[in-house]
Chain A
Amino acid sequence: MVLADGYEPETLNPLLGFGEEGASKLFDGLVEHRADRSVRAALAAEVPQPSPDGRTWTVKLRSGVKFHDGSTFGSEDVVASYRAVLDPAFASTVRANYSMVTAVDADGPSTVRFTLAYPYAPFAHRLVLGVVPSEAVAQPGPLERSPFNGKPVGTGPYKLTEWRKGDRMVMEANDDYFLGAPKVRKLTVVFAIDDNTRAQRMKAGEFDGTALPPLAANGLSDVKGAQIIKHSSADYRTVVMPMANPVTGDRAMRLALNYAMNRAGMIQALLGGRGQPASTPIPQALPEFVEPTAQFRYDKDEAARLLEQAGWVMGGDGVRARGAQRASFTLMYPAGDSVRKDLAQAFASDAKAVGVEVKLEGLGWEAIEPRMGADALVLGGGNPFDPDLKSYPLLHSSFAANGFNNPGSYRNAQVDAALDAGRKETDPAQRVAYYRQFQRAYAADPAMVFLAFLDHTYVVRDGWTGYQEVVDPHTHGLTWGPWWNVQSWVPRG
């Protein structure tokens, strides 16, 4: 099977972020996600469970698993992988995901124990980290120097046979895979960065599948023997409102802008209809968690009423002002990301309609970062597996202005309390209640203006069975998408 990807990974090391959400093909985590977002055991023998106080997770390991190089998988590999993530000397880029872990210890050759600083209910979702052989992290030092990055050794259903950088990657089925040898024997991923070139080559029959922007994918709808597949995602685009800015720091202003946005119109015009409106970071992909009363409708009159009420009076130039403060602020977007640029322009025009002036600036991330506390920003992200994973660092006050987390320094005691309660609660029904409470508190005092969850579009050639629809995380590359479970696909005929 030959797939084309518009994004080439810089590294195949899970500790540097490869396959951060699992489904990496080359590696396995202790657990893996299923199509319904639940986790099931992979390198673990059974789904890990917390101790009654929620601070110790004991994981029994599967026996008889071998790495691609023939060495035996054991607790020392799990311990070494997680310790390397936590040790600053390795400069792992996924360390933030494991900030709750205080210790990882082996308890004999086939049991590992994680000790957490506080009870953390969704911890099982974090155990998708690909486990590397302990030899790969024997020497402390920045992982970028590790030869492992280009010559990975995992336990996964495929092993890497060739990676010609800038060109393609070839993977072959791992016959010793512990869940059975894959039927799709050879997987080639060709890197073709340009969307139009990739669409042309897909049309010419060179590939069996690829990811394309919605509009380019629509152009391939008449290709025989191929179909367009749409995946919903938890991949949101939001406009961050910095609290330190005198305009966006006003609660009434943020509420009004949330009502002023024609989200359905943006999705239709800018995303070719491939997206879902967003009001909070909780996606429709987590249906039981979505709070119906926390969704903003498109209501310009309500927006105007809120602004009037708060003292933002319309001026002669069509821009409101409160005292000497004009209702005007700057919105930054990463230059080069055309979807974010379009959304920024739509945001500015919808804001203009209610008398708020938005000045746009397309910048590089290095220029954006120091200004995030004062100027608005189009940000993206999302995780479909558990509401805590994204909402907590995005909106909890403890993450205020911490790197790219909670960049607007939003602080709301009720939001904090609900998020804290949700991450510690183990009873599923009670967790749902906490996250709905969180959304109600958020909607009364929104930190940002969520616009849309993007759908991902793919073109897939027929010839295999086994495809299972799934909700994509915000990841680059083809680890997710239709081929997330390619190891259980079967060639047709």
Chain B
Amino acid sequence: MRSRARDIAALALRRLVFAVPVLCVVAVGVFLLGAASPFDPIHQYYGVQIFSASAEEIAQAREALGLNDSLIVQFGRWAGGLLSGDLGVSRSFRQPVAQVIGERLPWTLLLVVVGLVLAVLIALVLGVLAAWRQGGWLDRCVTAIGHALEGIPPFVLALVAIAVFSLSLGWFPVAGLTDAGAEATLGQVASHLALPALVLAVSQTPWLVLHVRQSLLTALSEDHVTGARARGLAEHVVVLRHALPTALLPFVTLIGARVPELVTGAVLVEEVFSWPGVASAVVRAALAVDFPLLVVLSLLATAAVLIGSLLADVAAAVLDPRVAVDG
């Protein structure tokens, strides 16, 4: 058993070492894309003052901002700063990148974690119920709605949710972190979190619920389940104690694989709900070719994906001794 733990640690270490070149490639890639983009950062820097500035002043500002330097120099300057712990300054937010991330990341984590937990709970409950009574009305509903939802992008869900729950029913506020002028108290944030988290969860649920249902159906036909039934155990014991654990294993891997979708979903949901997280900052940074912020956000997203899949693999290895850890 000791050696198994060591193997898992070695797996994690291998993945982390492998992450370094991946992150470097992402950083260079984002930088090159930014350089090739048609947006000119000097327009972002000036804002509406660009319309009264003279050509000479704009040229001097370019010089002062280092926009005339070659790509390699600009990249070297940024990378050098990164190594000394300075993430640079965000042009679109006019504040240090570290501060932008520090202010916004907690809200994104809150949204994503609540969204993911909700998605997993909904998926487990509905998936188990659907598989348990395969072919029943609930199963048919869940399967049909699940397939339909797979094709609907999160921002459509978000707009529909606002129209129904905020504007028509008035149950939840439309957008923002708190009511206008209110402090960020627990109650305020919770009521404003409900709708975006729910939308994020629902947008992720179809894959999870259909997967739980399918693997549970497979598990229910396996020998050890048949054996349990033959021993006369109660049906709920058979489903929840014998079939579900086998079915959950691939589910854990699937959750890890869903992290990229979760990141994209968060961008769209935060944008629609004016949620002040890092994901909505992506849009603003991209439009402004705000390289220092854009690259850190891309690195964060990449890291989230890598860590997601690593955690899923480690969890699978811990849960199931048969899983090989040499990959």
Q: Which residues of A contact B (CB under 8 A)?
A: 2, 4, 10-11, 13, 16-17, 20, 88-91, 93-97, 99, 141-142, 144-145, 147, 149-150, 164-168, 170, 188, 190-193, 197, 200-201, 206-207, 364-367, 379, 381, 393, 399, 401-405, 474-476
Contact = CB atoms under 8 A, between A and B. Distances in A.
Given A10-B93, A381-B51, A404-B52, 14 more contacts: A91-B65, A95-B57, A96-B49, A149-B95, A164-B184, A166-B274, A167-B176, A167-B177, A206-B179, A364-B38, A364-B39, A366-B38, A402-B56, A403-B52
A404 B51 contact: yes
Q: Which 7 A-B pairs have the closest CB atoms?
A: A93-B49, A88-B60, A188-B181, A91-B61, A91-B64, A404-B51, A166-B276
Interface stretch (B40-48, B150-158, B209-217, B224-232): B40-48
Interface in B67-121: 89, 91-96, 99-100, 103-104
Given A88-B61, A144-B89, A168 B180 contact: yes
B88 to A, nearest CB: 9
A96 B54 contact: yes
Contacts of B91: 144
B123 interface: no
Nearest to A150: B95
Interface size range of chain B in the complex: 35 or more
Nearest to B44: A10
13 contacts: A91-B61, A93-B50, A96-B57, A144-B91, A150-B95, A166-B104, A167-B276, A192-B176, A200-B167, A399-B54, A401-B55, A403-B57, A475-B48
B130 interface: no
A66 to B, nearest CB: 26
Contact of A403 (B38, B48, B53): B53
A449 B107 CA distance: 49
A67 B75 CA distance: 39
B50 A404 contact: yes
Contacts of A206: 179-180
A90 B63 CA distance: 11
Contacts of B43: 365-366
B193 to A, nearest CB: 14
A120 B321 CA distance: 84
With a 10 A CB-CB cut-off, give which of B54, B89, B91, B281 has the most chain A CB atoms: B54
B95 A147 contact: yes
Nearest to A380: B51
Contact of B175 (A13, A17, A192): A192
A17 B49 contact: yes
A10 B180 contact: no
Interface in B165-210: 167, 174-181, 184
Contacts of B49: 17, 20, 93-94, 96
A409 B167 CA distance: 51
B309 interface: no
A93 B53 contact: yes
Given A16-B94, A142-B64, A150-B95, A403 B181 contact: no
B143 interface: no
B196 to A, nearest CB: 14
A93 B180 contact: no
A95 B64 CA distance: 14
Contacts of A99: 54
A192 B274 contact: yes
A374 B30 CA distance: 34
Contacts of A88: 57, 60-61, 63-64
Contacts of A192: 175-176, 274
B145 interface: no
A2 B48 CA distance: 26
A99 B274 CA distance: 40
A141 to B, nearest CB: 8
Residue of B61, B276, B281 with most partner-chain A CB within 10 A:
B61
A246 B54 CA distance: 26
Interface centre among B40, B43, B91, B94 (most CB of A within 10 A): B94
Given A144-B89, A200-B167, A405-B52, A91 B45 contact: yes
Contacts of A97: 52
B181 A96 contact: no
A145 B90 CA distance: 8
Contacts of B181: 2, 168, 170, 188, 190
Contact of A164 (B48, B92, B94, B177): B177
A208 to B, nearest CB: 9
A144 B65 contact: yes
A166 B280 contact: yes
B38 A89 contact: no
Nearest to B40: A366
Given A91-B45, A149-B94, A96 B180 contact: no
A151 to B, nearest CB: 9
B89 A367 contact: no
